[in-house]
Structure 1
Amino acid sequence: MSFDHLFKFLVIGDSSVGKSCILLQFTNHRFQPIHDSTLGVEFGTRMIEISESRIKLQIWDTAGQETFKTITRSYYRGAVGCLLVYDITLRESFYHVQNWLQDVLEYSGPQTQIILVGNKTDLQGQRAVSTEEGKKFAEEHKINFIETSAKTANNIDEAFLEISNIIFNKIKNGEITVEQDQFLQMESNNEEIQSIEDNRKKKNEGCC
């Protein structure tokens, strides 16, 4: 299926904050509570439309374990969108957001638009990180902020669409150059993508 632009997205954060559940909910509109931790990188796509332009989102779900960081860092290159995810019921995952943000800034590029995502709002009774704390961190680092639930799908589409609109407008306004946009349209790492998709077919879908 043809498209006008291809946007590479990353979903990053600690293990078990719900990254793969977010990816699965956005790409397949379903939630899977029984899961294994992501090993390395998983991959998904979805087509959206902005101002009559067809945009393909190529989304990479990176493992949160420290041992996989050297692998996943190679996938930061060329990303124009990033969901930086923490678990609102797990304060430690919020503490680690600063380190993940530094990775994005170091290994990605200045064109990358970042949104801080506080996931698992369906577990309000177990909340350990307030909405105000998330907003304050985002404001201090000049990034966007949203709270979501991969289980109920609350704000999942909105998180991706908010950043996609920002990217699209930056391309339109020349803040991301035509050359960069053409680079993003390349179906890079085709062998890696096919390998990831083949592996996913051989096992049950994970969601963290």
Structure 2
Amino acid sequence: MRMCYVKQVMKRGADIVGSLFGMILFMITYILVYPIIKIQSPGPILFKQKRVGKNGKIFNLYKFRSMHVGSEQALEALKIKNQYNNEYMFKIQNDPRIYPFGRFMRKYSLDELPQFWNVLKGDMSLVGTRPPIVSEYEKYELQYFKRLTIKPGITGIWQVTGRNRFLDFEDVIKMDVSYINNMSFLLDVKILCKTIAVVIRKEGH
């Protein structure tokens, strides 16, 4: 029990330190991307979405807005083109809702930088499971809930394991459960290092 508590304290400590550095990067990036986003796609700079975190807690996840305003309403018409063979994930080639600079941000995962604020607040961790949207959570089967026993992460095993290869949601669940069962400081460091490599190789989205 004590060892588990020590691991939690270490993980939270790493999250705080990492997110403070991340917030500096986020603020610098905000200043740089602000005029570009405003020119290419008028509207808010940040995108806010309800996500489900640890133990079913609902929180607002933040990203740089990479899609045109109102894109969520256009989702239903595009679902027929979904590359994933399940109802829990969505992705299509050349998504028309994404404006040019938004595509660039996604390519280098720059749109994810505001999530360092979520980590600093304690909603998320640097490394964890993928946080589902509310409508996805409402469809969960019993075996999926284990992934909500820890805080969701900005990155995780699925993100650094060639996620485009995994079209089955069951594979994502297996990877998340594997992470939960083998959580350690060293594993988090490995995933963070792999995440940097993925970003450099432009495999963010």
Give TM-score, length-normalised by structure 1. Answer: 0.24
Which structure is higher in helix share? 2
Higher Cα radius of gyration: 2
Which structure is higher in strand share? 1
